[in-house]
Amino acid sequence: MTKPLDNDAAKGTRSDETHFTGHKFRGLNDFFWQNLEASTVYFPAPHQLNDPYDCQIDLMKAIRLAKVEGEPLSDALQERWQIFATSVTAPAATCGIFSLCAGDIRGMDERLLWAHYADNHRGVAITYEIPYKFVDTMIGFAPVTYGEGKLLAALRALDLSGRPDFKTVIEPVITNFLTTKAKQWGHEKEARFISFTPGLVRFERDWLRQICFGLNTPPADRAAVIEATKRFGYRNCRFAEVFNADGGLYELDTREVHI
């Protein structure tokens, strides 16, 4: 029998200063089983995301908005900014994006994630504990900002009098660009790992810390997930389930699944 993780397993928080804890809500489709067997996760390209504005906003429009209270965009300056915008959007278009929920799988907002991404509670919420040193292999990592304020502030702070360095100037703007999203998505409380290319990325099996079953996960699927997780060597993975809490009509809580 295993013990459940503490509240940080339900909340997407820093378990310490070296790891990030977040959740992925998933249905139990073929891709789930393939990823579980191979210990991989998929980093989709920006054009594969479900919101056409996500990671594909008009950066020149953002630059004009950022500069509206600053220096006017002369023709020469406009050309310089256009070159800079292309140096951001061209590599950003071929990046991979892995989003995790940094919220609480028991939360009211997360009810929407259970419904939308975990197949109406027939799927699972997977909790990963990922070392920050993993970011060294990526373009970047950051919480998603819901609204344009942070991106506009970053653009206002740029100095294009010289040639921007890719590592110190362009890469951080790419991360900012790919972690800016419309306010209406704020309930998702995302944090994103950004890779240089889209596709499958291998995770260490020890990073998978908990699988939580939804309210409607069929018993046969629960048993299959537990059996496969043990068979594929996820030694640190524990199991939990959400249930309707007594505190109100819509509250969720989690409890250990005894195996």
pLDDT in tens, 110-150: 999 999 999 999 999 999 999 999 999 999 999 999 999 99
Measured CA distances, 64 to 51, 90, 171 (Å): 23, 19, 20
pTM of the complete model:
0.89
Is residue 5's pLDDT more than 70? no
Alpha-carbon distance of 199 to 98, in angstroms, equals: 10
Q: What is the mean pLDDT of the chain?
A: 91
- Local confidence band at 69 (pLDDT 50, 70, 90 cut-offs): low
Alpha-carbon distance of 233 to 55, in angstroms, equals: 35
DSSP-derived pairing of the beta strands 140-143 and 124-131: unpaired
Axis crossing angle, helix 171-178 with helix 149-156, rounded to the nearest 10? 160
pLDDT of residue 11: 55
Alpha-carbon distance of 125 to 247, in angstroms, equals: 22
Instruction: Indicate the domain borders of the chain.
Output: 1-46+97-144+186-259, 57-92+147-178
Average pLDDT in the 216-220 region? 98
